[in-house]
């Protein structure tokens, strides 16, 4: 008896999604609640679980198709796997036993069934063999970061530290090598998440009066505090003490004193908040996502660091939910982890401001009339000038700078 697999409820106001990849092929054994497909919504990737245990039946839709909530996308045949004949039976059984470890291997030269578009692009760009890479995503799936790491290890001659060993004769290139002088193009349909990101960011430029103010921060005090307390902090709270906790708490001070930076425009009204929900920009395999640290003004450093670490882990696994990214009154984006020296971050609508962090580097600065070398970071605040005046934006950024340079301010609310 065949059981229909339907698109589950995807979240408030979300009515459709795009089929990102099939995790099970017809004939594969599936367990109850085991993911059989991954759907891409405007914000997150959502796994579709099997409602029953049995054998994967027919795929009703293809990768890239748009499906609505409640639509039938596949069937699952209840019971055990059907008997097969001869060599085909042996191959089918072997493939089911290999299961998740082989999910990254291209089928008949086409990896669209087993790898997401982002991973496929990374494989082609870096020229690596996906069958030799151990996936770190959910259920052992390959992520873009896995491919990039494998490419780096390959170029440095240490590929065996992250790639599983494979017989040389069994390795097949992900794409035929281009002859000298050959130029190629590849057209890949934008994921639903990338389309939404594009629309939202363009909308921010079209609808807001964007402006950015800059400052620089001496990170000496924060670095000293981390070095002094990082071991005790990790032992007590079981989490690493990072920089984001400091900037989140410093932002709370600034938003309390300059409430317009924590507000947004709705129609002809300004909506102010007596709480701070900080959206933290996190890199995920399918694009940038912004999960929310709720009530950051009431949370300590340990809780904030744990929230951020959890978001980063689940973003990589693709398990963030709609609820994780709902709301947010202010955003922090850390381009410094990618080496950025300075940037003009763009606001996350309907929010009115975003704080951009950048890399720390030793620079000569003048302190008490003397030139000294200090670990400095440029920080940027992009804001909607319709709501936030230049004086307010500069004041908010200055408060953040002062709190980072003298962390005691965060303890005594200055």
List, in sequence order, every residue forming a beta bridge with 366; answer none if it has no partner. Answer: 371
Distance of alpha carbon 127 from alpha carbon 178, whole angstroms: 11
Q: Which residues of 302-313 are buried (b: 16+ CB within 10 A; e: fewer)?
A: bbbbbbbeebee
What sign results for the dihedral spanned by CA atoms 141, 114, 63, 37? negative
Q: Give catalytic status of residue 389 as yes or no.
A: yes
The count of C-alpha atoms lying within 13 angstroms of the C-alpha of 233, restricted to the half-sphere facing its C-beta, is: 17
Do 40 and 18 meet the contact criterion of CB atoms below 8 Å apart? yes
Q: What are phi and psi of 387, to 5 degrees?
A: -110, -40
Collapsing DSSP states into helix, strand and coil, what is residue 159?
A: helix
Residue among 25, 67, 75 nearest 50 (CA): 75
99: DSSP letter? G
Helix pair 301-317, 220-237: axis angle to 10 deg: 80
Annotation marks residue 385 as catalytic: yes
Give, in order, the Cα–Cα distances in Å from 385 to each of 138, 202, 248, 264, 283. 42, 17, 23, 11, 28
**Active-site choice (33, 298, 389, 406):** 389
Q: How many CB atoms lie within 10 A of CB 161?
A: 9
Q: Is the separation of the CB atoms in 291 and 320 below 8 Å? A: yes
CB 55 within 8 A of CB 27: yes
- Counted residue by residue, the chain has a size of 414
Structure tokens at 333: 């984006």
Q: Which residues contact 284 (CB under 8 A, 6 or more apart)?
A: 315, 316, 318, 320
Cα dist. 394→195, 241, 254, 328, 353 in Å?
A: 33, 28, 10, 22, 12
Is 57 within 8 Å of 77 (Cβ atoms)?
yes
Cite the active site residues: 385, 389
């Amino acid at each position: 008896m065949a059981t229909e697999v339907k698109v589950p409820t995807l979240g408030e106001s979300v009515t459709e999604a795009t089929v990102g990849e099939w995790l099970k092929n017809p004939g594969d054994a599936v367990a109850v609640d085991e993911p059989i497909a991954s759907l891409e919504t405007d914000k997150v990737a959502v796994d579709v679980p099997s409602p029953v245990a049995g054998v994967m039946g027919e795929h009703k839709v293809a990768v890239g198709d748009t499906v609505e909530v409640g639509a039938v996308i596949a069937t699952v045949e209840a019971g055990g796997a059907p008997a097969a004949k001869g060599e085909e039976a042996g191959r089918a059984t072997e493939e089911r036993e290999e299961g998740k470890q082989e999910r990254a291997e291209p089928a008949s030269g086409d990896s669209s069934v087993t790898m997401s578009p982002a991973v496929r692009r990374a494989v082609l760009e870096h020229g690596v063999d996906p069958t030799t890479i151990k996936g770190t995503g959910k259920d052992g799936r390959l992520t873009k970061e896995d491919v990039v790491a494998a490419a780096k290890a390959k170029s440095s001659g240490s590929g065996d530290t992250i790639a599983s060993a494979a017989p040389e004769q069994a390795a097949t290139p992900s794409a035929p090598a281009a002859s000298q002088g050959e130029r190629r193009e590849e057209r890949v349909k934008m994921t639903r998440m990338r389309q939404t990101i594009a629309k939202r960011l363009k909308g921010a430029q079209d609808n807001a009066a964007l402006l950015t103010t800059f400052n620089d921060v001496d990170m000496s005090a924060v670095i000293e505090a981390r070095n002094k307390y990082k071991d005790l902090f990790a032992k007590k709270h079981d989490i690493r003490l990072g920089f984001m906790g400091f900037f989140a708490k410093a932002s709370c001070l600034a938003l309390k004193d300059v409430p317009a930076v924590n507000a947004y425009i709705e129609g002809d009204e300004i909506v102010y908040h007596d709480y701070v929900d900080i959206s933290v920009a996190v890199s995920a395999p399918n694009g940038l996502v912004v999960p929310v640290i709720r009530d950051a003004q009431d949370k300590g450093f340990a809780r904030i660091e744990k929230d951020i670490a959890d978001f980063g882990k689940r973003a990589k696994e693709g398990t963030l939910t709609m609820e994780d990214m709902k709301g947010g009154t202010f955003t922090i984006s850390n381009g410094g982890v990618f080496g950025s020296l300075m940037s003009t971050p763009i606001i996350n609508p309907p929010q009115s401001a975003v704080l951009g962090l950048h890399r720390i580097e030793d620079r000569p600065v003048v302190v008490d009339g003397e030139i000294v070398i200090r670990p400095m970071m440029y920080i940027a605040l992009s804001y909607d000038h319709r709501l936030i005046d230049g004086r307010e934006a500069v004041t908010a950024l200055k408060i953040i700078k002062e709190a980072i340079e003298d962390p005691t301010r965060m303890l005594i609310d200055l």
